[in-house]
Structure 1
Amino acid sequence: MTDEADTLTLGVLGGMGPAATLEFLARLQAYTPADRDQDHIRVLADINPRVPDRNTPGSDAGAVLAEMAGALRGAGAEVLAMPCNTAHAHADLIQRASGLPLIDMIDLGAQAAQESGALRAGVLGTKGALRLYREYLAARGMGLVSLPPGRQEAFMEALYRIKAGDDGADVKRIMKGFADELVKAGAEVLVAGCTEVPLVLDPEDVKVDLADPGDLLARRCVAVCLGYEPTPVFVG
Protein backbone atom coordinates (compact mmCIF):
# COMPACT_ATOMS: atom_id res chain seq x y z
CA MET A 1 0.00 0.00 0.00
CA THR A 2 1.38 3.39 -1.02
CA ASP A 3 1.09 6.66 0.90
CA GLU A 4 0.07 9.27 -1.67
CA ALA A 5 2.02 11.97 0.16
CA ASP A 6 5.26 10.06 -0.43
CA THR A 7 4.83 9.60 -4.18
CA LEU A 8 5.80 11.88 -7.05
CA THR A 9 3.59 12.78 -9.99
CA LEU A 10 5.12 11.71 -13.29
CA GLY A 11 4.83 13.82 -16.42
CA VAL A 12 5.22 11.94 -19.70
CA LEU A 13 6.18 13.61 -22.96
CA GLY A 14 4.70 11.14 -25.40
CA GLY A 15 3.30 10.54 -28.85
CA MET A 16 6.68 9.79 -30.49
CA GLY A 17 5.15 7.47 -31.55
CA PRO A 18 1.78 6.84 -29.93
CA ALA A 19 2.06 3.03 -29.86
CA ALA A 20 5.40 3.18 -28.08
CA THR A 21 3.97 5.63 -25.53
CA LEU A 22 1.02 3.34 -24.79
CA GLU A 23 3.41 0.40 -24.34
CA PHE A 24 5.43 2.50 -21.90
CA LEU A 25 2.32 3.46 -19.91
CA ALA A 26 1.22 -0.19 -19.78
CA ARG A 27 4.62 -1.16 -18.37
CA LEU A 28 4.39 1.60 -15.75
CA GLN A 29 1.15 0.08 -14.55
CA ALA A 30 2.48 -3.48 -14.69
CA TYR A 31 5.65 -2.69 -12.70
CA THR A 32 3.90 -0.75 -9.92
CA PRO A 33 3.30 -2.85 -6.79
CA ALA A 34 -0.33 -2.10 -6.04
CA ASP A 35 -3.18 -3.68 -4.12
CA ARG A 36 -5.70 -1.00 -5.11
CA ASP A 37 -6.16 1.84 -7.57
CA GLN A 38 -4.80 4.38 -5.11
CA ASP A 39 -1.43 2.61 -4.91
CA HIS A 40 -0.58 3.48 -8.51
CA ILE A 41 1.48 6.47 -9.62
CA ARG A 42 -0.30 9.59 -10.77
CA VAL A 43 0.70 10.10 -14.39
CA LEU A 44 0.12 13.20 -16.50
CA ALA A 45 0.73 12.27 -20.13
CA ASP A 46 0.85 14.56 -23.13
CA ILE A 47 0.54 12.16 -26.06
CA ASN A 48 1.32 14.64 -28.79
CA PRO A 49 1.85 13.11 -32.25
CA ARG A 50 2.16 16.67 -33.61
CA VAL A 51 5.72 16.97 -32.30
CA PRO A 52 7.82 17.65 -35.44
CA ASP A 53 9.79 14.67 -36.74
CA ARG A 54 12.92 14.40 -34.58
CA ASN A 55 14.77 12.96 -37.58
CA THR A 56 14.23 16.04 -39.75
CA PRO A 57 17.14 18.52 -39.55
CA GLY A 58 16.02 21.95 -38.38
CA SER A 59 12.64 20.80 -37.10
CA ASP A 60 11.07 22.71 -34.20
CA ALA A 61 10.81 19.60 -32.03
CA GLY A 62 12.82 21.07 -29.14
CA ALA A 63 10.60 24.12 -28.74
CA VAL A 64 7.44 22.00 -28.84
CA LEU A 65 8.81 19.55 -26.28
CA ALA A 66 9.88 22.42 -24.01
CA GLU A 67 6.36 23.85 -24.16
CA MET A 68 4.87 20.43 -23.37
CA ALA A 69 7.20 20.03 -20.40
CA GLY A 70 6.26 23.43 -19.01
CA ALA A 71 2.57 22.59 -19.31
CA LEU A 72 3.09 19.28 -17.54
CA ARG A 73 4.75 21.10 -14.66
CA GLY A 74 1.85 23.55 -14.54
CA ALA A 75 -0.52 20.59 -14.31
CA GLY A 76 1.35 19.16 -11.34
CA ALA A 77 4.16 16.98 -12.69
CA GLU A 78 7.22 16.71 -10.42
CA VAL A 79 9.51 14.57 -12.57
CA LEU A 80 9.54 13.89 -16.32
CA ALA A 81 9.99 10.90 -18.60
CA MET A 82 10.09 10.77 -22.39
CA PRO A 83 9.79 7.36 -24.10
CA CYS A 84 11.60 8.50 -27.25
CA ASN A 85 15.34 8.02 -27.62
CA THR A 86 15.98 10.55 -30.38
CA ALA A 87 14.10 13.34 -28.57
CA HIS A 88 16.65 13.15 -25.75
CA ALA A 89 18.81 15.43 -27.87
CA HIS A 90 16.56 18.15 -26.41
CA ALA A 91 16.83 16.94 -22.79
CA ASP A 92 18.64 20.02 -21.51
CA LEU A 93 16.15 22.41 -23.13
CA ILE A 94 13.22 20.43 -21.73
CA GLN A 95 14.63 20.56 -18.21
CA ARG A 96 15.56 24.25 -18.37
CA ALA A 97 12.13 25.18 -19.69
CA SER A 98 10.23 23.20 -17.06
CA GLY A 99 12.59 23.29 -14.10
CA LEU A 100 11.93 19.56 -13.69
CA PRO A 101 14.38 16.66 -13.85
CA LEU A 102 14.09 14.22 -16.75
CA ILE A 103 14.81 10.54 -16.15
CA ASP A 104 17.38 9.80 -18.86
CA MET A 105 16.57 6.69 -20.89
CA ILE A 106 19.77 6.98 -22.96
CA ASP A 107 21.78 6.68 -19.75
CA LEU A 108 19.70 3.66 -18.73
CA GLY A 109 20.33 1.93 -22.06
CA ALA A 110 24.07 2.62 -21.95
CA GLN A 111 24.26 1.47 -18.34
CA ALA A 112 22.52 -1.82 -19.19
CA ALA A 113 24.94 -2.36 -22.08
CA GLN A 114 27.90 -1.82 -19.76
CA GLU A 115 26.48 -4.11 -17.08
CA SER A 116 26.28 -6.92 -19.63
CA GLY A 117 30.08 -6.99 -19.62
CA ALA A 118 30.31 -6.11 -23.31
CA LEU A 119 32.87 -3.76 -24.80
CA ARG A 120 30.97 -3.09 -28.04
CA ALA A 121 27.25 -2.33 -28.18
CA GLY A 122 25.16 -2.53 -31.32
CA VAL A 123 22.44 0.11 -31.38
CA LEU A 124 19.30 -0.05 -33.50
CA GLY A 125 18.24 3.58 -33.65
CA THR A 126 17.93 6.73 -35.71
CA LYS A 127 20.99 8.79 -36.62
CA GLY A 128 20.16 11.16 -33.79
CA ALA A 129 19.85 8.33 -31.29
CA LEU A 130 23.14 6.84 -32.51
CA ARG A 131 24.91 10.14 -31.81
CA LEU A 132 23.58 10.13 -28.25
CA TYR A 133 24.44 6.50 -27.58
CA ARG A 134 27.94 6.91 -29.05
CA GLU A 135 28.59 9.68 -26.49
CA TYR A 136 27.10 7.81 -23.54
CA LEU A 137 28.84 4.54 -24.41
CA ALA A 138 32.19 6.25 -24.94
CA ALA A 139 31.90 7.73 -21.45
CA ARG A 140 31.78 4.13 -20.21
CA GLY A 141 34.76 3.05 -22.29
CA MET A 142 32.56 1.21 -24.81
CA GLY A 143 32.40 1.27 -28.57
CA LEU A 144 29.27 1.56 -30.70
CA VAL A 145 28.44 -0.71 -33.63
CA SER A 146 25.96 0.69 -36.15
CA LEU A 147 24.54 -0.32 -39.51
CA PRO A 148 26.31 0.88 -42.66
CA PRO A 149 24.65 3.88 -44.39
CA GLY A 150 22.57 1.89 -46.87
CA ARG A 151 21.29 -0.47 -44.23
CA GLN A 152 20.60 2.45 -41.88
CA GLU A 153 18.28 3.87 -44.54
CA ALA A 154 16.55 0.50 -44.78
CA PHE A 155 16.21 0.47 -40.99
CA MET A 156 14.48 3.85 -41.11
CA GLU A 157 12.05 2.54 -43.72
CA ALA A 158 11.19 -0.37 -41.42
CA LEU A 159 10.86 2.03 -38.50
CA TYR A 160 8.30 4.16 -40.30
CA ARG A 161 6.38 1.01 -41.23
CA ILE A 162 6.10 0.20 -37.52
CA LYS A 163 5.00 3.76 -36.78
CA ALA A 164 2.30 3.29 -39.43
CA GLY A 165 0.99 0.26 -37.53
CA ASP A 166 2.77 -2.58 -39.33
CA ASP A 167 4.02 -5.06 -36.76
CA GLY A 168 3.57 -8.14 -38.92
CA ALA A 169 5.84 -11.06 -39.66
CA ASP A 170 7.67 -9.35 -42.52
CA VAL A 171 8.79 -6.30 -40.55
CA LYS A 172 9.73 -8.55 -37.62
CA ARG A 173 11.92 -10.61 -39.95
CA ILE A 174 13.53 -7.45 -41.29
CA MET A 175 14.27 -6.09 -37.80
CA LYS A 176 15.75 -9.42 -36.72
CA GLY A 177 17.99 -9.22 -39.78
CA PHE A 178 19.30 -5.83 -38.70
CA ALA A 179 20.04 -7.22 -35.23
CA ASP A 180 21.89 -10.19 -36.72
CA GLU A 181 23.98 -7.82 -38.87
CA LEU A 182 25.12 -5.87 -35.83
CA VAL A 183 26.13 -9.06 -34.03
CA LYS A 184 28.09 -10.24 -37.07
CA ALA A 185 29.80 -6.82 -37.12
CA GLY A 186 31.08 -7.37 -33.59
CA ALA A 187 28.29 -6.22 -31.26
CA GLU A 188 28.39 -8.12 -27.97
CA VAL A 189 25.16 -6.62 -26.69
CA LEU A 190 22.30 -4.89 -28.50
CA VAL A 191 20.38 -1.76 -27.47
CA ALA A 192 16.89 -1.08 -28.80
CA GLY A 193 17.69 2.57 -29.47
CA CYS A 194 14.24 3.40 -30.77
CA THR A 195 11.05 2.70 -28.81
CA GLU A 196 9.44 1.10 -31.87
CA VAL A 197 12.10 -1.63 -32.06
CA PRO A 198 10.82 -3.69 -29.06
CA LEU A 199 7.34 -3.64 -30.59
CA VAL A 200 8.63 -6.15 -33.18
CA LEU A 201 11.90 -7.54 -31.75
CA ASP A 202 11.94 -9.81 -28.69
CA PRO A 203 15.02 -10.79 -26.64
CA GLU A 204 14.74 -14.39 -27.83
CA ASP A 205 15.03 -13.16 -31.43
CA VAL A 206 18.68 -12.17 -30.99
CA LYS A 207 21.88 -14.05 -30.16
CA VAL A 208 23.13 -11.63 -27.48
CA ASP A 209 21.53 -9.64 -24.66
CA LEU A 210 19.00 -7.03 -25.81
CA ALA A 211 18.68 -3.91 -23.65
CA ASP A 212 15.30 -2.19 -23.89
CA PRO A 213 15.67 1.41 -22.64
CA GLY A 214 11.90 1.95 -22.74
CA ASP A 215 11.36 -0.95 -20.37
CA LEU A 216 14.19 0.24 -18.15
CA LEU A 217 12.68 3.73 -18.15
CA ALA A 218 9.33 2.40 -16.94
CA ARG A 219 11.02 0.52 -14.12
CA ARG A 220 13.08 3.55 -13.09
CA CYS A 221 10.04 5.83 -13.14
CA VAL A 222 8.22 3.50 -10.76
CA ALA A 223 11.22 3.36 -8.43
CA VAL A 224 11.71 7.15 -8.43
CA CYS A 225 8.06 8.08 -8.07
CA LEU A 226 7.55 5.63 -5.20
CA GLY A 227 10.69 6.84 -3.45
CA TYR A 228 12.69 3.62 -3.84
CA GLU A 229 15.40 5.50 -5.75
CA PRO A 230 16.46 9.17 -5.55
CA THR A 231 15.00 11.73 -7.91
CA PRO A 232 17.54 12.77 -10.57
CA VAL A 233 18.89 16.28 -10.28
CA PHE A 234 19.25 18.56 -13.28
CA VAL A 235 22.21 20.87 -13.16
CA GLY A 236 21.56 23.50 -15.84
Structure 2
Amino acid sequence: MSDAAKKKTGKGELRETIVIIVQALLIALVFRTFAFEPFSIPTASMQSNLLIGDYILSSKYSYGYSRYSLPYSEVPWNGRIFGSSPERGDVAVFRPVPQRDNYVKRVIGLPGDRIQMIDGTLNINGEEVPRELVGEDIDRDSSGLDLPVQLYRETLPNGVSYVVQEVSDNAQFDNTSVYTVPPGHYFMMGDNRDRSLDSRSLTAVGYVPFENFVGKAEWRFFSINDNIPPWQIWRWPGNVRFDRMFTSVYE
Protein backbone atom coordinates (compact mmCIF):
# COMPACT_ATOMS: atom_id res chain seq x y z
CA MET A 1 0.00 0.00 0.00
CA SER A 2 1.32 3.41 -0.92
CA ASP A 3 2.01 6.12 1.64
CA ALA A 4 -0.90 8.17 0.25
CA ALA A 5 -3.27 5.21 0.60
CA LYS A 6 -2.06 4.52 4.15
CA LYS A 7 -2.57 8.19 5.03
CA LYS A 8 -6.08 8.14 3.58
CA THR A 9 -6.92 4.93 5.47
CA GLY A 10 -5.59 6.41 8.70
CA LYS A 11 -7.74 9.53 8.30
CA GLY A 12 -10.77 7.35 7.63
CA GLU A 13 -10.20 5.29 10.77
CA LEU A 14 -9.72 8.45 12.84
CA ARG A 15 -12.93 9.94 11.45
CA GLU A 16 -14.82 6.72 12.23
CA THR A 17 -13.46 6.68 15.79
CA ILE A 18 -14.52 10.28 16.34
CA VAL A 19 -18.02 9.51 15.01
CA ILE A 20 -18.34 6.52 17.37
CA ILE A 21 -17.23 8.61 20.37
CA VAL A 22 -19.64 11.43 19.52
CA GLN A 23 -22.51 8.96 19.08
CA ALA A 24 -21.70 7.31 22.41
CA LEU A 25 -21.65 10.70 24.16
CA LEU A 26 -24.98 11.68 22.59
CA ILE A 27 -26.57 8.38 23.64
CA ALA A 28 -25.26 8.86 27.20
CA LEU A 29 -26.60 12.43 27.29
CA VAL A 30 -30.03 11.37 26.06
CA PHE A 31 -30.08 8.45 28.54
CA ARG A 32 -29.17 10.74 31.44
CA THR A 33 -31.62 13.46 30.41
CA PHE A 34 -34.71 11.38 29.69
CA ALA A 35 -34.26 7.91 31.24
CA PHE A 36 -32.02 7.49 34.28
CA GLU A 37 -29.65 9.77 36.16
CA PRO A 38 -27.06 8.51 38.67
CA PHE A 39 -26.72 10.01 42.15
CA SER A 40 -24.45 9.26 45.08
CA ILE A 41 -25.53 9.12 48.74
CA PRO A 42 -23.14 11.33 50.76
CA THR A 43 -25.03 11.53 54.07
CA ALA A 44 -26.66 9.25 56.65
CA SER A 45 -30.20 10.62 56.26
CA MET A 46 -31.62 7.52 54.51
CA GLN A 47 -29.73 4.82 56.40
CA SER A 48 -30.07 1.91 56.70
CA ASN A 49 -32.01 1.74 53.42
CA LEU A 50 -29.50 3.89 51.52
CA LEU A 51 -25.99 3.87 52.96
CA ILE A 52 -23.30 6.51 52.66
CA GLY A 53 -21.39 5.48 49.54
CA ASP A 54 -24.38 3.96 47.71
CA TYR A 55 -24.84 5.01 44.09
CA ILE A 56 -28.39 4.94 42.75
CA LEU A 57 -30.21 5.36 39.46
CA SER A 58 -33.19 7.71 39.45
CA SER A 59 -35.82 7.27 36.75
CA LYS A 60 -36.71 10.55 35.04
CA TYR A 61 -39.82 9.27 33.27
CA SER A 62 -41.62 8.16 36.47
CA TYR A 63 -42.67 11.70 37.38
CA GLY A 64 -42.33 13.28 33.95
CA TYR A 65 -40.09 16.20 33.11
CA SER A 66 -39.55 19.69 34.49
CA ARG A 67 -36.64 22.10 34.40
CA TYR A 68 -35.32 20.45 37.59
CA SER A 69 -35.10 17.04 35.93
CA LEU A 70 -33.14 18.41 32.97
CA PRO A 71 -29.38 19.08 32.98
CA TYR A 72 -29.87 22.85 33.30
CA SER A 73 -32.46 23.94 35.89
CA GLU A 74 -31.96 27.58 34.87
CA VAL A 75 -34.08 26.96 31.79
CA PRO A 76 -36.99 29.48 31.96
CA TRP A 77 -39.72 26.84 32.00
CA ASN A 78 -42.33 26.24 34.69
CA GLY A 79 -44.53 23.20 35.17
CA ARG A 80 -44.19 19.50 34.41
CA ILE A 81 -45.08 17.32 31.43
CA PHE A 82 -45.84 13.59 31.16
CA GLY A 83 -45.34 11.12 34.00
CA SER A 84 -47.46 10.57 37.09
CA SER A 85 -47.57 12.02 40.61
CA PRO A 86 -45.33 10.65 43.38
CA GLU A 87 -46.90 8.02 45.62
CA ARG A 88 -46.64 7.81 49.38
CA GLY A 89 -43.56 5.77 50.25
CA ASP A 90 -41.60 6.56 47.08
CA VAL A 91 -37.91 7.36 47.52
CA ALA A 92 -37.38 10.44 45.38
CA VAL A 93 -34.65 12.82 44.27
CA PHE A 94 -35.70 16.47 44.47
CA ARG A 95 -34.43 20.03 44.75
CA PRO A 96 -35.60 21.89 47.89
CA VAL A 97 -36.86 25.39 47.16
CA PRO A 98 -34.32 27.24 49.33
CA GLN A 99 -31.31 25.26 48.06
CA ARG A 100 -29.43 24.22 44.93
CA ASP A 101 -28.37 20.70 45.96
CA ASN A 102 -30.35 17.56 45.18
CA TYR A 103 -31.81 15.63 48.11
CA VAL A 104 -32.96 12.00 48.40
CA LYS A 105 -35.82 11.39 50.84
CA ARG A 106 -39.05 9.40 51.15
CA VAL A 107 -42.46 10.79 50.18
CA ILE A 108 -44.49 10.86 53.40
CA GLY A 109 -47.14 13.51 52.88
CA LEU A 110 -49.31 14.14 49.82
CA PRO A 111 -51.04 17.42 48.95
CA GLY A 112 -53.61 18.27 51.64
CA ASP A 113 -52.22 15.81 54.21
CA ARG A 114 -51.67 16.76 57.85
CA ILE A 115 -48.34 15.46 59.14
CA GLN A 116 -47.14 15.45 62.74
CA MET A 117 -44.47 13.74 64.84
CA ILE A 118 -45.51 12.77 68.38
CA ASP A 119 -42.86 11.16 70.62
CA GLY A 120 -40.98 9.94 67.57
CA THR A 121 -44.04 8.37 65.97
CA LEU A 122 -45.33 9.57 62.60
CA ASN A 123 -48.97 10.68 62.42
CA ILE A 124 -50.80 11.23 59.13
CA ASN A 125 -54.18 12.96 59.08
CA GLY A 126 -54.64 12.39 62.79
CA GLU A 127 -53.86 8.66 62.64
CA GLU A 128 -50.74 7.11 64.15
CA VAL A 129 -48.65 5.25 61.58
CA PRO A 130 -47.90 1.75 62.92
CA ARG A 131 -44.28 1.02 63.74
CA GLU A 132 -42.81 -2.21 65.11
CA LEU A 133 -39.47 -2.48 66.90
CA VAL A 134 -37.35 -4.92 64.88
CA GLY A 135 -33.88 -4.50 66.34
CA GLU A 136 -30.95 -2.29 67.34
CA ASP A 137 -27.84 -1.17 65.49
CA ILE A 138 -24.96 1.29 65.48
CA ASP A 139 -25.35 4.12 62.98
CA ARG A 140 -22.36 6.06 61.60
CA ASP A 141 -22.86 9.48 59.99
CA SER A 142 -20.72 11.20 57.36
CA SER A 143 -18.40 12.66 60.02
CA GLY A 144 -17.67 9.19 61.44
CA LEU A 145 -19.74 9.66 64.60
CA ASP A 146 -21.28 6.38 65.82
CA LEU A 147 -24.55 6.33 67.75
CA PRO A 148 -26.76 3.44 68.89
CA VAL A 149 -30.15 3.41 67.13
CA GLN A 150 -33.37 1.48 67.38
CA LEU A 151 -34.84 0.02 64.20
CA TYR A 152 -38.58 0.19 63.54
CA ARG A 153 -40.62 -1.17 60.68
CA GLU A 154 -43.01 1.60 59.67
CA THR A 155 -46.06 0.87 57.51
CA LEU A 156 -47.80 3.72 55.70
CA PRO A 157 -51.59 3.84 55.08
CA ASN A 158 -51.13 2.55 51.51
CA GLY A 159 -49.23 -0.52 52.74
CA VAL A 160 -45.69 0.60 51.86
CA SER A 161 -43.36 -0.72 54.57
CA TYR A 162 -39.71 0.05 55.34
CA VAL A 163 -37.30 0.34 58.26
CA VAL A 164 -36.59 3.65 60.02
CA GLN A 165 -33.89 4.46 62.55
CA GLU A 166 -34.34 6.44 65.78
CA VAL A 167 -31.58 7.64 68.11
CA SER A 168 -34.30 8.58 70.60
CA ASP A 169 -37.93 9.67 70.63
CA ASN A 170 -37.11 13.10 72.02
CA ALA A 171 -34.80 14.57 69.40
CA GLN A 172 -35.33 17.92 67.66
CA PHE A 173 -38.03 16.81 65.20
CA ASP A 174 -39.61 14.01 67.25
CA ASN A 175 -42.36 16.29 68.58
CA THR A 176 -43.74 18.83 66.13
CA SER A 177 -46.77 20.91 65.39
CA VAL A 178 -49.08 19.84 62.57
CA TYR A 179 -47.76 20.41 59.04
CA THR A 180 -50.52 20.90 56.45
CA VAL A 181 -49.13 20.10 53.00
CA PRO A 182 -50.13 22.77 50.45
CA PRO A 183 -51.75 21.86 47.11
CA GLY A 184 -49.20 20.66 44.56
CA HIS A 185 -46.57 20.01 47.25
CA TYR A 186 -45.15 16.98 49.08
CA PHE A 187 -43.75 16.30 52.54
CA MET A 188 -40.41 14.47 52.49
CA MET A 189 -38.64 12.68 55.35
CA GLY A 190 -35.46 10.68 55.76
CA ASP A 191 -35.58 7.12 57.07
CA ASN A 192 -32.82 7.98 59.58
CA ARG A 193 -35.23 10.19 61.49
CA ASP A 194 -32.86 11.89 63.94
CA ARG A 195 -30.11 12.43 61.37
CA SER A 196 -32.14 13.83 58.51
CA LEU A 197 -32.71 17.43 57.47
CA ASP A 198 -36.05 17.22 55.67
CA SER A 199 -39.49 18.80 55.32
CA ARG A 200 -39.84 19.00 59.09
CA SER A 201 -37.48 21.97 58.84
CA LEU A 202 -39.59 24.49 56.95
CA THR A 203 -36.71 26.95 56.60
CA ALA A 204 -34.15 24.46 55.24
CA VAL A 205 -36.27 22.09 53.13
CA GLY A 206 -39.99 22.61 53.70
CA TYR A 207 -42.79 21.50 51.43
CA VAL A 208 -41.52 20.38 48.02
CA PRO A 209 -43.37 21.49 44.87
CA PHE A 210 -44.05 18.70 42.38
CA GLU A 211 -42.09 20.72 39.82
CA ASN A 212 -38.93 20.33 41.93
CA PHE A 213 -38.85 16.53 41.72
CA VAL A 214 -35.93 15.17 39.69
CA GLY A 215 -36.90 11.50 39.58
CA LYS A 216 -37.78 8.34 41.47
CA ALA A 217 -34.94 6.37 43.03
CA GLU A 218 -35.03 2.85 41.58
CA TRP A 219 -31.76 0.89 41.79
CA ARG A 220 -28.46 0.74 43.62
CA PHE A 221 -25.80 0.07 41.00
CA PHE A 222 -22.64 0.56 43.09
CA SER A 223 -21.75 0.79 46.77
CA ILE A 224 -18.49 1.48 48.58
CA ASN A 225 -17.54 2.17 52.19
CA ASP A 226 -16.84 5.63 53.59
CA ASN A 227 -17.67 7.55 50.41
CA ILE A 228 -14.43 6.40 48.77
CA PRO A 229 -14.34 7.82 45.21
CA PRO A 230 -15.25 4.93 42.87
CA TRP A 231 -12.40 5.78 40.50
CA GLN A 232 -9.90 4.75 43.20
CA ILE A 233 -10.01 1.17 42.00
CA TRP A 234 -7.00 0.17 44.10
CA ARG A 235 -9.16 0.71 47.21
CA TRP A 236 -12.01 -1.51 46.03
CA PRO A 237 -10.80 -4.74 47.72
CA GLY A 238 -12.38 -4.87 51.14
CA ASN A 239 -14.43 -1.70 50.57
CA VAL A 240 -16.86 -2.40 47.73
CA ARG A 241 -20.19 -3.71 49.05
CA PHE A 242 -20.97 -6.22 46.32
CA ASP A 243 -24.11 -7.47 48.07
CA ARG A 244 -25.75 -4.04 47.55
CA MET A 245 -24.95 -3.69 43.87
CA PHE A 246 -27.75 -4.07 41.31
CA THR A 247 -30.46 -4.22 43.97
CA SER A 248 -33.78 -2.41 44.16
CA VAL A 249 -34.11 0.58 46.48
CA TYR A 250 -37.41 -0.98 47.64
CA GLU A 251 -36.10 -4.40 48.65
* TM-score category, normalised to shorter length: under 0.3
Alignment TM-score, normalising by the size of structure 1 = 0.23
Higher strand share: 2
Alignment TM-score, normalising by the size of structure 2 = 0.22
Larger radius of gyration: 2
